[in-house]
Structure 1
Amino acid sequence: MPLRTDHIIYIAPDLEGACDRIEALLGIRPVFGGQHPGGGTHNALLALGNDAYLEVIAPDPAQPNPDRPRSFGLDKPGEFRLATWAVKAPQMATVVAAARARGYDPGEVVQGGRTRDDGLRLAWQSTKRPESISGATPPGDWLVPFLIDWGDTPHPSGAAPAGGTLVSLHAEHPNPGTVQAILRALDVDIEVREGPAIGLVAAIETANGRVELR
């Protein structure tokens, strides 16, 4: 069975500006999630139905610059866009081994965590993708999701306000074949359409109708 979407990730140079944009599009404002200590970022969240959610992530001015690059290219000049996504892997070791057997290495499994405003500690494990996959470079690589397992931690979608329902997610790439084989090896069912630029497009059903987040 193909791996299910866990969350989609919208990157931005500043969190408040990103939340303004999301609120204008979806009709509801993401709520602050928390800081990523040592990572130099913080986030805000909206639930998207079916145990999926939207994560808005940006550099955190309240933290010192981290001793490693910020996630998702957030050290580079800022832009607002849907950058990448994560899929659920409750049997992480099995999923990683199966992908490697099919010719794709999802990367090292690392531990992550943050503390919510209410003091609850969230912990997860996820794959750390290589900087380059088959010669591609971001943002092309980011069409390939990373794996995440929340273990016994309450899923973040449960504490986030409902921002709508994620109806579909597709990728666009000038040469779809460069990523389709990797997605198949990872057992991910997502359409890759030919387009002039590399990116992800989420269709979200809201109270005001269906919208696209790019």
Structure 2
Amino acid sequence: MPRTFLDHIAITAFSLEAGAALVADTLGVETQRGGEHPRMATHNRLLRLGKSMYLEVIAPNPAARSPGRPRWFGLDTLAPHALPALSAWVVRSTDIQASAAAASEPLGDLEPMRRSALDWLITIPADGSVPLEGAAPALIQWHADAHPAARMEDKGCALALLEIFHPDPERISRLLSSLELEAPVAVRQAGPGDPVRLAAHIDTPHGRRIL
């Protein structure tokens, strides 16, 4: 069974501009241009968080043709007035099929994806949702010799900790154990009636900030 590692965290937004503004306002740094995902009719902006980790702002691409299927990361459920939010995370495996089979929770179907010269496999639920309302990660396997973050601008940011708040933390801990995850991730008990949420503690040139 291969180990898995935290690959990236994702801020979902109805518009790319709104998501990028949240990052700039919270972290005090600007994201860089990413690219387009033709199969999903989405586009993104990026922020390096290490040599093999990054933050992604992802949104529907209004200039793209309809994908004819649900977009990933639950983007089709966002209303125009919805606030951008840290709502998903992705872990990397060298054998995504083995990792998906070992997972204690269903994480979605294996799908081939491409953005410019990059291509990869990723797990996506058929309805486009994020597993367990974002508490569970997507799995990814890159088809590249070097991680995409290695080619991103270094803005002096690094992820210190990702917190997952869930009403059944033992369930999430079992999942992460089944994935043999090695990452700065902590599972917390959500308060009574509180929704599932993620909190990323990020070291920046301006000190530690929380998304």
Same fold (TM over 0.5): yes
Distance 1:153 1:142 in 2: 29
Distance 1:124 1:153 in 2: 12
Distance 1:145 1:207 in 2: 28
Distance 1:162 1:193 in 2: 30
Alpha-carbon distance, 1:153 to partner = 5.6
Unaligned ranges ≥5, structure 2: none
Q: Does 1:179 align with 2:202?
A: no
Distance 2:107 2:168 in 1: 21
- Please name the residue that 2:85 is paired with: 81
Q: Is the 8 A contact 1:8 1:84 kept in 2?
A: yes
Distance 2:189 2:120 in 1: 34
- Please name the residue that 2:121 is paired with: 125
Q: How many residues align?
A: 201
- Please name the residue that 1:167 is paired with: 160
TM-score (norm 2): 0.85
Q: 1:30 to 1:72 in 2, by over 3 A?
A: same
Alpha-carbon distance, 1:111 to partner = 0.8
Distance 1:106 1:66 in 2: 21
Q: Deviations over 1:182-212 (max 9, x none)?
A: 2222223532111232111111000100001
- Please name the residue that 2:137 is paired with: 145
Alpha-carbon distance, 1:139 to partner = 6.9
- Please name the residue that 1:206 is paired with: 204
Distance 2:210 2:39 in 1: 33
Q: Deviations over 1:116-142 (max 9, x none)?
A: xxxxx110112224659xxxx857342
Alignment of 1:183-198 (within 5 A): 183-188=176-181, 190-195=185-190, 196-198=194-196
Distance 1:28 1:197 in 2: 28
- Please name the residue that 2:73 is paired with: 72
Distance 1:180 1:130 in 2: 24
Q: Is the 8 A contact 2:133 2:196 kept in 1?
A: no
- How much is the aligned-residue C-alpha RMSD, in angstroms? 2.3
Q: Is the 8 A contact 1:12 1:58 kept in 2?
A: yes
Secondary structure class of the residue paired with 1:140: helix
Alpha-carbon distance, 1:5 to partner = 0.5
Secondary structure class of the residue paired with 1:5: strand
Alpha-carbon distance, 1:94 to partner = 3.3
Alpha-carbon distance, 1:43 to partner = 0.2
158-167 or 177-186, which deviates more: 177-186
Q: 1:194 to 1:74 in 2, by over 3 A?
A: same
TM-score (norm 1): 0.84
Secondary structure class of the residue paired with 1:4: strand
Distance 1:9 1:52 in 2: 11
Secondary structure class of the residue paired with 2:50: coil
